[in-house]
Structure 1
Amino acid sequence: MDKVMTLSDAAGLGRRAGPRSPSSSSILPYNLPLLAALLACALAQFLKIFTTWYKEKRWDTKRMLDSGGMPSSHSAAVSALAVAIGLQEGTGSSAFAIAVVLSCIVMYDASGVRLHAGRQAELLNQIVCELPPEHPLSSCRPLRDSLGHTPLQVFVGSILGCIIAFLMRGPH
């Protein structure tokens, strides 16, 4: 005789056993990869205040909302996401493969395309500043030049993300 699967049996298929399995009464399920990525991103943005102070000897709380700078919050987020998925689902899972590919694309873009776009914006701003006052472009607003990251900023962000994911997984 065939066994009949009930709705409660089907709902339990996706749950993992163990101390961190979500309870049925919780409104928001515990999602280690998502929380690790968000925390790593937020912490990296917060740390930019201190790295700006160290480099420029001034406090600038606006740096928490800016792109660019040390450490890379995008790299921290995608690294935390990939490591947390690898810890939770295993490194052989499709989700881990997707997260690793996404991480590589984001980090390559941050230290390549966005870094060079920022450098081009610096040069264009300098050219516009040297235009005579009567030139139509002499009064245009400067372009944002803090867009990308150096390879060191990307590396530090990725290490930060890995550490956050490892610390959030708890004792196992």
Structure 2
Amino acid sequence: MIFNNRYFFVPAVAWFIAQTLKVIIELLLNREFNAYRFVGAGGMPSSHSALVMALTTTLALDFGWDSPLTAISFIFALVVMYDAAGVRRAAGKQAKILNIIISELQQGNKIIDEKEKLKELLGHTPIEVVAGALLGVIVPYLI
């Protein structure tokens, strides 16, 4: 069964911890419980980074840092983290600007329903990616 596979289980635990931390951080910063943070993209720490680095670290612990499997996983992790901090972050910035434009256009005119605003929190800051990556390295050592 997939849940008995440590190369699935350990990264899944790291992902779950990262998503739970997002809810806790949101609660502490905004004094608001936001259940969407359990599954939503963006925010501190990056669950994408935690997931891929937990997989890489688990492979490294079992097969060594010089293993071909670890190298493949690490390259995959770098691509995922670059995308999280680069492409998806840029898309989030564009969404934010578009939402400002829409708000300005809505002054007096109902152009778009408020519920249709673009999602702004898509990517991660570099610190969020690093925090997620560190979480992903730590969890396999704890499990």
Deviation at 1:59, TM superposition (A): 1.8
Report what 2:126 is aligned to.
Answer: 151
For 1:146, the aligned partner's letter is L
Query: Relative contact order (alpha carbons < 8 A, sep ≥ 6): 1 or 2 greater?
Result: 2
Structure 2 residues without counterparts, runs of 5 or longer: none
State which of 102, 106, 111 in structure 1 corresponds to 2:76: 102
Q: 1:87 aligns with which of 51, 61, 76?
A: 61
Separation (CA, whole Å) in 2 of partners of 1:93 and 1:152: 28
2:44 counterpart residue number = 70
CA–CA separation in structure 2 for the residues paired with 1:45 and 1:31: 21
Q: CA deviation at 1:109?
A: 0.8
Farther-moved stretch of structure 1 (73-82 vs 86-95): 86-95
The structural deviation recorded for 1:81 is: 0.3
- Residue 136 of structure 2 corresponds to 161
Identity %: 38
Matches of 1:29 and 1:41, distance apart in 2: 14
Instruction: Report if aligned partners of 1:33, 1:165 keep a CA contact under 8 Å in 2.
Output: no
Q: 1:28 to 1:38 in 2, by over 3 A?
A: closer
Q: Which has the higher helix share?
A: 2
Work out the CA distance in 2 between the residues paired with 1:72 and 1:149. Answer: 7
CA distance in 2: counterparts of 1:120 and 1:29, whole angstroms: 38
Offset at residue 92 of structure 1 (A):
1.9
Q: Is the 8 A contact 2:92 2:119 kept in 1?
A: yes
Where 2:119 maps in the other structure, the secondary structure is coil
SS at match of 2:102: helix
What is the CA distance between 1:28 and its match in structure 2? Answer: 5.8
3-state SS of paired residue (1:55): helix
Residue 146 of structure 1 aligns to a residue whose secondary structure is coil
- Which structure has the bigger radius of gyration? 1
1:117 aligns with 2:91: yes
| Distance in 1 separating the partners of 2:40 and 2:3 | 30
Q: Distance in 2 between matches of 1:159 and 1:95?
A: 20
**TM-score (normalised: structure 2):** 0.90
Distance 1:105 1:28, change over 3 A: closer
Query: Can you give the 5+ residue segments of structure 1 that lack an aligned partner in the other structure?
Result: 1-26
